[in-house]
Amino acid sequence: MGIRRVADARGRSAVRVHPALRSAEGSGHYFPVEITPHRTLAPHPTGAHDYPWSGCGHGPSVADGTCDGSATADDLTAGAVRKEATMFIQLIQGKVGDADGLQKCLDRWDTDLKPGATGYLGTTYGTTDDGTLVALARFESAEAARRNSDRPEQGEWWAETEKCFAGPVTFMDCPNVTEWLGGGSDDAGFVQIMEGHTTNIGRMRELLDQSADRVHEARPEIIGGLLCADDGDSYIEAVYFTSEAAAREAEKMEIPDDIRSLFEEEMQLMGDVAYYDLHQPHLVSA
């Protein structure tokens, strides 16, 4: 929802250290892997943040390109500003060691395993500038995700796919999902994913409800988003844009006065945030 900047001394993207995020106890990697013990996410680089209306979603602040303005409020379903989604989302992360091999494995999952993945809804994934794969896998429910994880062919596929990573793969389970505006749009040309901890996820959802429509009026390149939470205090927010060029240009705008207080409150609730820019997102739906 909110839009702010995190930058280092050169004005490039940066993040602040936050407490490690953990997956739900005893669950597994449902999109690409079999059930394994939960792991803790590695710490992220550090930086400093400020609070202007300037980030693509919430983060990087490098202006690059012009706004195409291709998405308008008329493109969105009336009344669909925010809705509680009946779905389960899992965040998957890992440093890539063999990019070509990994893409082949992901393509094979799409052609060979996806048809048998009952309850699978789709995936948003991409590789960040530092070579980390970040994926959001969507299922109708945690049970549907677990059924997929339990398939023998899923475990066999993961045994091969895991070799393409340079280190351990981490994940976080989110049974509490809110869609806003167009949700996770397959029309996006740029996606930014944020993760952190909050003291009040319920209030974050209320702020989405109060400001999402106004945000889209001011930032038409924002075409949808997801707010996902685990059963603790960890959350993931994904913002979908028409293009990165449009997002970089629009981030220079000032926050409209009528929603400034909402953004300031949201930024306080978000705490320290890690940002992942997917410059060339892969958007897969069932």
Label each residue of the chain as H, E or C.
Answer: CCCCCEECCCCCECCCCCCCCECCCCCCCCCCCCCCCCCECCCCCCCEECCCCCCCCCCCCCCCCCCCCCCCHHHCCCCCCEEEECCEEEEEEEEECCHHHHHHHHHHHHHHHHHHCCCEEEEEEEECCCCEEEEEEEECCHHHHHHHHHCHHHHHHHHHHHHHECCCCEEEEECEEEEEECCCCCCCCEEEEEEEECCCHHHHHHHHHHHHHHHHHHCCCEEEEEEEECCCCEEEEEEEECCHHHHHHHCCCCCCHHHHHHHHHHHHHHCCEEEEEECCCEEEEC
Q: What domains are defined for the chain?
A: 6-285 (3.30.70.100)
The tens place of each residue's pLDDT in the chain, 286 residues long, gives 333 333 332 222 332 222 223 222 333 344 443 333 333 333 333 232 222 222 333 333 233 332 333 333 333 333 344 456 689 999 999 999 999 999 999 999 999 999 999 999 999 999 999 999 999 999 999 999 999 999 999 999 999 999 999 999 998 999 999 998 878 889 999 999 999 999 898 999 888 888 777 887 888 899 999 999 999 999 999 999 999 999 999 888 887 787 788 878 888 888 888 999 999 999 988 8
